Each structure stands twice: as C-alpha cells, then as structure tokens.
Amino acid sequence: MVFDESYFARHMNPITGSAIRDIFKLLGKPGMISFAGGNPSNAALEPEVIAPLAKEVIEAAGPAILQYGASEGWKPLKESAQKYLTNIGVPCEENEVLPTEGSTQGFDILLKALIDPGDVVLVEDPTFLGALQAIRTYHGIPVGVECDENGLLPDALEAAIIKHKPKLVYIIPTFQNPTGTTLPVDRRVAIADIAARYGVIVAEDDPYHDLRYEGESLPTIKSFDKEGWTVYLASFSKIISPGMRVGAMVISIPTLMRKCVIGKQSSDLHCPLLTQAIVDAYLRKGLLPEHLVRIRAGYRDQLDAMLKGFALFPEGTRYIKPEGGLFVWAKLPGNKNAVSLLEPAVESGVAYVPGTHFYAEGGHLDTLRLNFSNSPTDKISEGMEKLSKVINNN
C-alpha cells in the first residue's frame, strides 16, 4: 500500500501552512531585512531576568511544578492573570481565566468547543492568517466582514450575522493584525450589543493591547458585554516572551468554560507548569509596567522609521498609521501587485507578506503587511528604501 493525499482529513486540504512561515524559509540569506514576521524585538526579551526567575520558581514550588497539573491552569497564574486582566479593562473572576499556549491555543480550543463542519465563522476582512487556518482545521468556513481604516463595520457585521447565522465571530480590535487599525469605542459598544442581540460568541483577540505608542487605551469589547458573549483572548507573547507560549482566555459562561477545559484536556492535558509559573512570578513581582515603558519606546522609534520610509514609495501609495502594535498595512497604487513584487524584493534583500494571504477569499493583490518590530531603525530605513526602489521599478 502507498500512503497518499487521500489519507488526509478533508479539512486539511485547503491548508498549506502559513504563507508567512514559508516566506521565513527564504530569509536565510545574510543581510536580509525582514518586514515579514511578527516577532517581538530581541531587545524586548529578557533572558537575564527570566533565567533566575525560572530557577527560583522551581525551587519554590518543588516537585509539584514537575508533576501533572490541572487542565484549568496553575492556580497562582490564574490569580495573577486575573489581576492583570482586571487592570487592563477585562474585569473577571479567577475561575473565568483559562491559561493557554498563547492566544493561538485559546482560539483553537474555542473552535473545538463550538464549530461543527460547515459552520461559518465571521472574521475581519483581512484578518490574522493563523485564524483562517485554525478555522479550516475544524472544517469551519471563514467569511470576511467588511472593514474600513477604523476596523470592522458594525452594520456589515450585523448583516453578515443575519445572513450566515454564525455561532462565532473573530475580531482583533486593537492594532489589528494585519492592518494595525483600532476599533473606536462606539463600534466596540455596537459589536457587544449585536453579539448579545443575536446570541453570537465574539472571540476578542487582543495580543497587542499593551503595545500602544500614542493615544489613550480604549475599553475592551468584553467590558461592554453583560451576558458573557465575549471570550477574551490575552497573550503574554508580545509583552514577555512568545517562546514561552503563555496566554489566557477569559470565559464568563460556566458551561462554555467547562467545554473549553475538556477541549484543552484532549489537546495537551495542560500548559507546562514551569512557563505558567514564570509568567506568574513576572507579573507578581510587578516587572511588567517598567518593561512596557521601555519596549514601547523602542517600538515607537521603529514605527516612526518605517512611516518615514513611505515618502519614497510611489505616489498614490496608501498606508494606515497605527497607534500601536507591530504592523503597518499598505495599498499600492495603479496595478502594482504585491505578490509578484515579493520575489524581486527578496532578491534585493527585503521581505514582507503580501496582503492577499490575510483575506478569507484572497484577492486584494495590491496590499502588503510590513512588520517593524524585528529590525533596528537604521535597517528599517534601509529596507524601506530598497522596497520603494523595487516597487518603483517593477
């Protein structure tokens, strides 16, 4: 017998792996300036802080930290995450907090709990590529909802809910990936209201919440939700460490929490206790606020360097200036094609992600996503110069 494609689950057919991660493989070339990823800056990572913390939490907890733990999470982290979340505008009780492997796993578990084959999941158009992939993994059908430069349009959401009767909507309201847009307060209120009116779960994915470089922090959609329709997905990846894979879901409906705990149990039983304990200790010692001040300053400079670089782009280029996060979204003028431009760009030493990959239905070949967090400012300027030449000359 020969193992072939017919063995694979049908839902895996449209999934060919993250285009971003495939682009990563092109980046081995020395000197490549990558605007393609979504990694935090290495300068924002603190091995010198985390190393002694790791030793300390193991010594403090003893064998318990190496033993099996509860699927519901490491209790001290549930406590400190509850305080952190309440503080950033997600008031919750400890038993509403479920630690996850980044917000990636939070959304995966929510899909596992809710999605039957063929179910529509509404998403922003464009949205995070990984979310599209995760929805398809559960045989769900992602359907994009129209957005403008301020994010999701509530009227379009309501119309899509009436048309598709979904159980679930996925939204990144703050410094959205890929567009960098932030949903204004009135739209957040409207979305919470629509969710309750039609009985739709809103997955509010908010991994960039603390990475604001200007303007005032906005209340979460979850803060306007009185009945529990919003599931909040928090992540410590962008503010402490992505490699530790620690995030937390806030689920206010007890029966939904129970299903998600069961789903987590069959996914990986529980998150590693050590990484949960390190994040707990980091929060408990109050290390986060000062760290955020420092990394925000660095990211603000990087963002400024990137925005300046657009002066060299062809006339008619449009881009969205974000107030935070890690990405700038651009739309090229005329019939410029960001997909076909990628190869000459990589050849000239600069990479990005074509915007088409972020749309549920593809298309939008004139768009691209640029990440500014993973290169120093001088390299950002150099990369924008190279990229502008490629765009101007092709």
Which residues in the 216-235 window bind a copy of itself by CB under 8 A? Answer: 227-229
Confirm or reject binding of residue 215 to a copy of itself (CB under 8 A). Answer: no
- Can you tell me which of 78, 187, 188, 270 binds a copy of itself, judged by CB under 8 A? 270
Binding of a copy of itself by 91 (CB under 8 A): no
Judged by CB under 8 A, does residue 66 bind a copy of itself?
A: yes
For 328, the enclosing helix (H) or strand (E) is strand 327-331
Task: By CB under 8 A, tell whether 18 contacts a copy of itself.
Answer: yes
Q: Output 46 or 158, the one with its CB closest to a copy of itself.
A: 46
Q: How far is CA 110 from CA 105, 106, 169, 392, in A?
A: 8, 6, 11, 44
The rounded distance, in Å, linking the Cα atoms of 250 and 246 is 14
Among 27, 29, 55, 184, binds a copy of itself (CB under 8 A): 55
Q: How far apart are CA 328 and CA 134, in angstroms?
A: 24
Residue whose pair of structure tokens reads 């939070």 in the numeric block: 106
Q: 312 exposed, middle or buried (CB, 10 Å; 0-12, 13-18, 19+)? A: middle
Q: Which of 28, 30, 31, 63 binds a copy of itself (CB under 8 A)?
A: 63
**Closest distance of CB 57 from a copy of itself, Å:** 9
Q: Is residue 166 part of the contact set for a copy of itself (CB under 8 A)? A: no
Which of 271, 303, 227 lies closest to 68, judged by CA? Answer: 271
Q: What angle do CA 275, 300, 45 make, to 5 degrees?
A: 25
Give the residue with the Cβ less far from a copy of itself, 64 or 159.
Answer: 64
Nearer to a copy of itself, 176 or 241 (CB): 241
Q: Should residue 151 be labelled a site residue for a copy of itself when binding is judged by CB under 8 A?
A: no
Stretch that binds a copy of itself, among 33-41, 80-88, 299-307, 330-338 (CB under 8 A): 33-41
Should residue 67 be labelled a site residue for a copy of itself when binding is judged by CB under 8 A?
yes
| Tokens representing residue 262 in the block | 């069961």
